[in-house]
Amino acid sequence: MSAVLYERNGSCAIIRVNHPPVNVLSHAVRAGIVGMLERAIADPKVDGIVLAATGRTFIAGADITEFNKPASFSEPTIWNVIKAVEDCRKPVVAAIHGTALGGGLEIAMACHARVAVASAKVGLPEVQLGILPGAGGTQRTPRLTGPEFAIDFITKGNPITAHDALKVGLVDEIVDDLILGAVARAEAITNGPLPTKVIDRQDRVSGYDADFFRTAKTKVAAISRGAEAPLAIIECIKAACTLPPLEGLAFEKAEVQRLLAGQDHAALKHYFFAEREARKIDSIPEAAQPVRKIAVIGAGTMGSGIAMACANAGFPVSLIDIDEANLSRGRASIDKNYAVSVSRGSSSQAKVDAAIALIEYQVGYGKLQGVDLVIEAVYEDLELKKRVFAQLDAAADPDAILATNTSSLDIDAIARATNRPEKVVGMHFFAPANVMRLLENVRGSLVAPETVAVAMAVGRALGKVTVLAGNCDGFIGNRMVRFYMDTADFLLEAGISPGRIDKVATDFGMPIGPLTMWDMVGLDTGVLLRKPRRAAAVPGDRMSPILERMVAAGRLGQKVGRGFYAYDGREKRVDPEALALIADVVRERGAEPMELSDEDIRDRLFMPLVNEGANELLDGTALRAGDIDVVWVNGYGFPAHKGGPMWWGHSVGLDRIVALAARLAQENGPRWAPSPLLLDRSRSAW
Ligand code: 3HC
């Protein structure tokens, strides 16, 4: 099958990229476009050209698998394609449906006009691959939209709708019939002179001084967590505004080549494929039993968020609580959340109304008929969950699947409380469940593959990044996070201040540091979570008393204005009282303060994650190292440009992970010892 098709529609040539699944710009496509353009130019009966695509989308960008390989440099390159389009003496109109992304949008911007159907989206997501739109995207976008919009659009990388693209000037027209609309546009252009090439337009990029770009860089640096590409993008847009077009393009090309050779790109490319790989589970059927209606049990923060996530994805959902007052509170918080999303412009009134209409509120488990999936989100207590599951088992249809949102409890114990253990699965959402992208599904030993298939399919339908974990205390993410949080306490005991520990974590790229995180979660919650672990600790397994001491002093965290820091609202400041309390614990321990560099602190915070991740690979809790990375990037804010903990671990060297683990085992106990997977050099190359 040819990667690019050619046909005639009156005096227009229709060139269609035909390269499933998403029409990426592989070499065959690039060569095909150039070849078909030559054919159209040579055809005396052709006056105008439409560039379109078959299947579910317009061109979704460069072929990421070709990056840094000879195929991406072999001619015609994407730059050759763009030149051929832009220099074409017959007008070329891009006809966009699905998503015009990256190189796809860059080619569209080189066309003489762009039309799109209303459902289309356009975007330059290269920043999410640690690079920039290096085929003229940083040069042509500001020429169409002005640099303010271009900076926001390209440094974030999120696609926008066709209507928004029309507003900012990225597309020229929204049409009902794509090909007819594009042909009409091409014919209209052929009646006059060819429009000025986008790259030659100067009106939107004049008059911006160095201060404008300095301010933009400061703003973007504050949110890009140390990633390189966003700042390089601003430099390129500055070049578009200050240099002649050819020099701007050359500057951009050099920058993209620099980024392509960098570590951020390698990590983000790994992450891109890891996210897609995570969906692939060998041992489950491809087709899943359909889910038409969902019930969520428990109208607390978690249950309400899950109900919203379901309704937002178009599922009719019953939010159920046994307590009427709880249910009313849940309903009020859902209504408030939706109102806020409309007032902030993150959702439209119509969308919100549609979602609200899908949620019904119910007291008690009386009416579960017709529900295909029940998601339990009650208080995190095993005995309570077992009781709830026994009741759900009695009330739900025999075929219904029962899922628990537990974040750490034993799925098998919960399944055994029912007469349908093969239909019980973990679906661990992260709070707030309507916002967070991650869903960690958990497979116990009693569950049927068909049930797991449903949980994975529902995750995808909810628009979640969905990973499958094995059943153990804490699953993939929370099992590892304990090492991170425990380390923060040990560092305090070693005489390192909360501010310094948090700063090392945020300098590494975490959104907040571990002690700020404790303050947000609530130190009392931390103490509760640690209770069973303290009870089960093996001899020699050290645990810090700092959390307990803070709680005993009434320092419960942000909610009471005092934790590791003091708070005025959300503003935090160093609190001498907290420091004095920590100093007491250090004194009582009698250990000498440790001399640790920032790099030592960083290693102590993050290397144990890699070690425990290796243990998870060994015992099958995680199927792939990439799955662990996906969980950590989406659930805990691990910087995506470092690829996730397992990718990062490889990049710093597994020998260093082993050496530190051996040392930490001496300091803290056997739980910290090097993973056998890391010690077995023949198996540790994940
Ligand atoms: N290169 C190579 N493979 C790609 C790809 C790309 N750009 N985009 C998607 N794929 C592959 C996926 O890996 C997946 O393969 P699999 O089925 O074997 O797992 C398959 O195509 C389908 O992709 P999705 O599962 O993601 O399909 P969806 O329908 O969910 O999403 C999409 C479609 C919105 C187009 C999404 O695939 C996407 O966002 N792709 C990435 C687009 C992108 O980043 N483009 C920019 C590339 S960089 C660039 O253009 C450089 C230029 O500036 C020079």
Q: What is the 3-state secondary structure (H, E, C) of 352-395?
A: HHHHHHHEEEEECCCCCCCCCEEEECCCCCHHHHHHHHHHHHHH
What's the CA-to-centroid distance between 60 and ligand 1, angstroms?
6
Residue pair 363/321 in contact by the 8 Å Cβ criterion: yes
β-bridge mates for residue 93, sequence order: 50, 113
Which residue is associated with the tokens 């859902």? 334
57 lines ligand 1 (CB under 6 A): yes
Closest atom of ligand 1 to CA, residue 137: 53
Q: What's the CA-to-centroid distance between 471 and ligand 1, angstroms? A: 31
Is residue 684's pLDDT more than 70? Answer: no
Q: How far is the CA of 345 from the centre of ligand 1 (A)?
A: 28
Q: Show the tokens assigned to 306.
A: 């899950």
Question: Phi and psi for 441 in degrees, rounded to 5?
Answer: -80, 145
> In the chain, what percentage of residues exceed pLDDT 70?
99
Centroid of ligand 1 to alpha carbon of 104 (angstroms): 11
Q: Find where tokens 């001496």 sit.
A: 666
What would the mean pLDDT of 331-360 be, rounded to a whole number? 95
Contact call for residues 105 and 124 (beta carbons, < 8 A) = yes
Residue 414 pLDDT level (bands cut at 50, 70, 90) = very high
* Closest among 237, 269, 265 to 251, alpha carbons compared: 237
Task: Name residues whose C-beta falls within 8 Å of residue 108's C-beta, 6 or more positions apart in sequence.
Answer: 51, 58, 59, 94, 96, 100, 114, 122
Ligand 1 lined by 126 (C-beta under 6 Å): yes
Q: Is 468 in the pocket of ligand 1 (CB under 6 A)?
A: no
**108, 234, 260, 520 from 123: Cα distances, Å:** 11, 17, 19, 34
Q: Please work out whether the CB of residue 48 comes within 6 Å of at least one atom of ligand 1.
A: no
- Determine if ligand 1 sits within 6 Å of the CB of residue 61: yes
Tell me which residue has its CA closest to atom 36 in ligand 1. 60
Q: Stretch 461-472: mean pLDDT, rounded?
A: 97
Instruction: For ligand 1, atom 28, name the residue with the nearest CA.
Output: 22
137 in ligand 1 pocket by Cβ < 6 Å?
Answer: yes
Pocket test residue of 22, 27, 101 for ligand 1, highest count of atoms within 8 A of CB: 22
pLDDT digits (tens, 9 = 90+) for 325-345: 999 999 999 999 999 999 998
- Cα of 21 vs centre of ligand 1, distance in Å, is 9
pLDDT over 80 at 592, yes or no: yes
Per residue in 241-297, pLDDT (tens digit) is 999 999 999 999 999 999 999 999 999 999 999 999 999 999 999 988 999 999 999
In whole numbers, what is the pLDDT of the chain averaged over residues? 95
| Burial of residue 436, with CB atoms counted within 10 A of its CB: 0-12 exposed, 13-18 middle, 19 or more buried | middle
The C-alpha atoms of residue 632 and residue 646 are separated, in whole angstroms, by: 10
User: What band does 529 get if pLDDT is binned at 50, 70 and 90?
Assistant: confident
Task: Say whether pLDDT at 605 is over 90.
Answer: yes
Q: Using CA atoms, how far apart are residues 24 and 30, in angstroms rounded to an integer?
A: 9
What distance in Å separates the CA atoms of residue 84 and residue 70, rounded to the nearest whole number? 21
Closest CA to 104 of 55, 45, 39, 44: 55
Q: Which atom of ligand 1 is nearest to the CA of 135?
A: 54
Question: Whose C-alpha lies nearest to ligand 1, atom 15?
Answer: 276
CB 110 within 8 A of CB 82: yes
What backbone torsions phi and psi does residue 231 show, to the nearest 5 degrees?
A: -75, -35
* Ligand 1 atom with least separation from CA of 106: 53
For every residue of 99-124, DSSP letters joined together read EEETHHHHHHHHSSEEEE-TT-EEE-
Residue-wise pLDDT tens digits, 478-501: 999 999 999 999 999 999 999 999
Q: Give the pair of three-digit tokens for residue 227.
A: 């990633």
Tell me: pLDDT of 71 over 90.
Answer: no
* Residue 346 predicted with pLDDT over 90: no
* Atom 52 of ligand 1, nearest CA residue: 103
Check if the beta carbon of residue 143 is closer than 8 Å to that of residue 130. Answer: no
Alpha helices in 160-300 (DSSP H): 162-168, 178-190, 210-223, 229-242, 245-260, 263-277
Backbone angles phi, psi at 294, to 5 degrees: -125, 145
Count of other CB atoms within 10 angstroms of residue 566: 17
* Residues 6 or more apart whose Cβ sits within 8 Å of residue 480: 474, 609, 612, 613, 616, 628, 632, 645
Which of 26, 64, 460 to mutate for ligand 1's pocket (most ligand atoms within 8 Å of CB)?
A: 64
Nearest CA owner, ligand 1 atom 12: 276
Beta-strand (E) ranges in 316-474?
317-321, 359-363, 373-376, 401-404, 424-429, 438-443, 465-470
Residue bearing the CA closest to ligand 1, atom 43 = 61
- Phi-psi category of 461—alpha, beta or left, where left has phi over 0 and alpha has psi -120 to 50? alpha
Q: Is 106 in the pocket of ligand 1 (CB under 6 A)?
A: yes
What is the β-pairing status of strands 401-404 and 373-376?
A: parallel
8 A C-beta contact, residue 613 and residue 645: yes
**pLDDT band, residue 685 (cuts 50/70/90):** low
- Cα–ligand 1 centroid distance for 640 (angstroms): 17
> Cβ(82) to ligand 1 under 6 A?
no
CB of 99 closer than 6 A to ligand 1? Answer: yes
For residue range 211-248, what is the model confidence (pLDDT) as tens digits? Answer: 999 999 999 999 999 999 999 999 999 999 999 999 99
- Check pocket membership of 101 for ligand 1, CB cut-off 6 A: yes
Please indicate whether residue 22, judged by its CB atom, sits closer than 6 Å to ligand 1.
yes
Distances (CA, A) of 208 to 147, 200, 223, 240: 8, 17, 23, 10
CB of residue 135 inside a 6 A radius of ligand 1: yes
Give the residue numbers annotated as catalytic, written as ranges.
Answer: 106, 126
Whole-number pLDDT of residue 532: 82
CA 410 – CA 581 distance, rounded (Å)? 36
Give residue 682's pLDDT band: very low, low, confident or very high (50, 70, 90): low
C-alpha of 217 from chain center: 23
CA-56 nearest atom, ligand 1: 29
- Which of 337-346, 437-446, 523-532 shows the lowest per-residue confidence on average (mean pLDDT)? 523-532
Q: How far is the CA of 542 from the centre of ligand 1 (A)?
A: 46
Strands (E), 432-511: 438-443, 465-470
Strand partners, 441: 427, 468
Ligand 1 proximity of 134 Cβ (cutoff 6 Å):
yes
Band (pLDDT 50/70/90 cuts) for residue 683 is low
Task: Determine the distance separating the centroid of ligand 1 and the alpha carbon of 458, expressed in angstroms.
Answer: 21
Averaged pLDDT for residues 654-683: 92
| Percent of the chain at pLDDT exceeding 90 | 91
Category of 267 on φ-ψ map: left (φ > 0), alpha (ψ -120 to 50) or beta: alpha
Calculate ∠ Cα 228-229-230, nearest 5°: 100
Asked if residues 318 and 295 have their Cβ atoms less than 8 Å apart, the reply is yes
